[in-house]
Amino acid sequence: MCGIAGIFSHKPVAAELYDSIIHLQHRGQDAAGIMTYDDRMHKEKGVGLAKEIFNNENMKLLTGNIGISHNRYPTHGGFSHGEVQPFWTSVPYGIALAHNGNLTNYKELASEVIKTETRYLNTTSDSEVLLHLFADGLHRDVPPQTNEEFFELLCEAVENIFNKVRGAYSVTSIIIGKGLVVFRDPQGIRPLVKGQRPNGNGGKDYIFASENTMFYAMGYEPAGTVLPGELIYVDESGQVFSKRLIKKTFNPCIFEYVYFARPDATLNDVSVYRARLRMGQNLAEAWQKKHPDKTPDIVIPAPSTANTAALSFAHELGVRYSEGLYKNTFIGRTFIMPGQAERKKSVKYKLVPQELEIRDKKVMIMDDSIVRGNTSREIVRMLKDFGANEVYFAVACPPVKSPCFYGVDMPTRGELIAGNMNVDEIKSYLNVDALLYQKIDDLAEAVTRRGDHHIDRPCMACLDGNYVVNDIDGAKMDEMETMRVNDRNGND
């Protein structure tokens, strides 16, 4: 899971691309990069948070009115500086590309790029493979002479990607002398939204990003979503070309709504905040049916992505909502830390119970999901250490039973608690007095109940094992898991 943005503007874009990274920092803390161009490419990238990478001096070097940015949260490839996006190639034109998602047929594609297209790969990143496939599709002995002809060439190149590439990918790209290009995989698994604003000269500026969280601050009006299978090209004069090249079922990732996206985002024309309120509402109704004799004194969210669902859960039950766990905001998101040891170490630093809210009470903990179970178990232990009489646990997401291979770091079955234990065993492991998971249909209903979204069914492969691209079988799962473990260990 990463954050990407692309901006076409009437003025220099570097500062706004930096602002985009800041607004998307929750989507990736590992690394960040910006590329712009005027007469040539300009890049600055590094490992760490945006504020640690960019400064007044290197931002001055990022000249140009067109550019792209990337926040990295690695699900494939290594962790070195060379893996930091955007990637670029000088042939043809000069092309830079940033990618959010994960390619499930990476090995086959990498082999094709090296052997058939005779291009050299500097990294193990699937994004670099995607760049070279894109670049190769644009290489012609006789270059197109007009923007209309170039758009036709873009359509051929991207349609070739759609036919070859499996997995999830939302892409922003800049091409020297041409402009800004964005496209999204045919099933729209990873998000990509768009916005526009008047430029004061009768034209418009355009932004494309993983979330619309920065639009208001930068003066952009939301303009919907990039459709699944759609290609959009903004040429250097500001003319927009767009075409939906292929149409399949629309299956956006449900975990965006559960955990990853900021609550103020609107993805695929669905409000993340409202979807989370409905998750809490549906779960509260299920709790009352299953446990009519267990009414908590307070509902405490596992901060902070569970806050919204916990608010509506408490309202439906008619009990008090309490922020009984203080979150140290200077500790990063534990779910997206690269190693298991780092996650375990950070939980007690990250969350501190408030004793006056907990002691001698029946406490309901509400969490967005349970993936590995370590944080959940530590939270329960903390509450009991601080005097809770009973601890109940409600989860806005159903049991996470399968790895995600479309861009979320759930890399191996062995790490998923629900892949190795049933609900009763998980209840015992967490040491809670009652445990309730959301049902799959109730979660899907919460996301799709409102909005002009045209979602057929969200991708819920991590919950129901249905990999919507039809690209995962037992052998592929073993291959992908091995690749992820090797990436973590620094092996080839």
Residues belonging to the active site: 2
**Reduced to 3 states, what is the DSSP secondary structure of residue 448?**
helix
Q: Which residues pair with 193 in a beta bridge?
A: 209, 225
Residues 6+ apart with CB under 8 A from 139: 91, 92
Which among 104, 95, 83, 78 has a CA at the least distance from the CA of 133?
95
Region for 194 from its dihedrals, namely left if φ exceeds 0, alpha if ψ lies in -120 to 50, beta otherwise:
beta
| Angstrom distance (rounded) from CA 350 to CA 149 | 54
| 20 prior amide bond cis, ω within 30 | no
CA angle at residue 261 from 95 to 394, to 5 degrees? Answer: 150
| Angstrom distance (rounded) from CA 29 to CA 432 | 32
Sheet holding 179-184, edge to edge: 87-89, 95-103, 167-175, 179-184, 230-235, 240-244
Longest dimension (CA), the chain: 78
| 86 prior amide bond cis, ω within 30 | yes
Q: Are 364 and 392 in contact (CB under 8 A)?
A: yes
Report residue 176 as tokens: 């020297």
Residues 6+ apart with CB under 8 A from 404: 255, 410, 461, 462
Q: Which residues pair with 47 in a beta bridge?
A: 31
Report residue 19 as tokens: 């602002």
Which among 383, 375, 330, 376 has a CA at the least distance from the CA of 358?
383
